[in-house]
Amino acid sequence: MAGHVVDQLYEDHDRILEALDMLEKAVEGVEAGRVDPAVVLELIDFLSRFADHYHHGVEELLLFPALERRGVPLHGGPIGVMVCEHGMGRYMLRNARAAAERVRSGDRGAVAELKHYATSYRDLLVQHIDKENNVLFAMARDVIGEGELVEEARRVAEEHGREELLKRLGEIRARLGG
């Protein structure tokens, strides 16, 4: 079963959306004093490794360059927009992490900042994933053949410990209570 390279990426999107929901709940919990800020930091760490390093890595090193080679332009098209949004997401996640670390060390004043960056990150990624699912990946299905880049994408997943990270996400979900 070779499948298409975007199959794995669609699946990643579902896991990322799940983690974003959990992040939103965890931040609300921190705000209400019910949840340990360490849980928020774990979710941020998951998103940084899974979404930013691994998933955006597959897109930026394998999928997007393949689309460029098939004539999809980097500038003035969806690829450039996607790459910019990956960068904006990294910025928001970094600042969410910095704010969460301040909250963990007792600075309640940083909760609002944490919420700001976590919410901005979620809003950005929800619409980003929507565009990829409905526009870019549909385009990729047309120009990239079945089985192409599938092994390469699997290798990147392995290098980044995709399965291990997903197991960890399950553990955080259990700690958050569902």
**Sign of the torsion angle spanned by Cα atoms 9, 10, 13, 15:** negative
- 10 Å Cβ neighbour count for 47? 27
**Residue partners of 164: CB distance under 8 A and separation at least 6:** none
Reported for 175-178, long-range contacts at CB under 8 A and 24+ positions apart, including other chains, are 175/39, 176/22, 176/25, 176/26, 176/29, 176/35, 176/39
Q: Which is nearer to Fe ion, 30 or 43 (CB)?
A: 43
Token pair of 107 as six digits: 């600075």
Closest approach of Fe ion to the CB of residue 90, in Å: 11
Q: Which is nearer to Fe ion, 42 or 132 (CB)?
A: 132
Closest approach of Fe ion to the CB of residue 55, in Å: 6
**Residue partners of 12: CB distance under 8 A and separation at least 6:** 50, 51, 54, 55, 58
Q: Which is nearer to Fe ion, 42 or 59 (CB)?
A: 59
Closest approach of Fe ion to the CB of residue 166, in Å: 16
Q: Which is nearer to Fe ion, 29 or 78 (CB)?
A: 78
Closest approach of Fe ion to the CB of residue 1, in Å: 22
Q: Which is nearer to Fe ion, 111 or 140 (CB)?
A: 140
Q: Which residues bind Fe ion (CB under 5 A)?
A: 59, 82, 132
Per-position DSSP letters for 94-134, written without gaps between them: HHHHHHHHHHHTT-GGGHHHHHHHHHHHHHHHHHHHHHIII
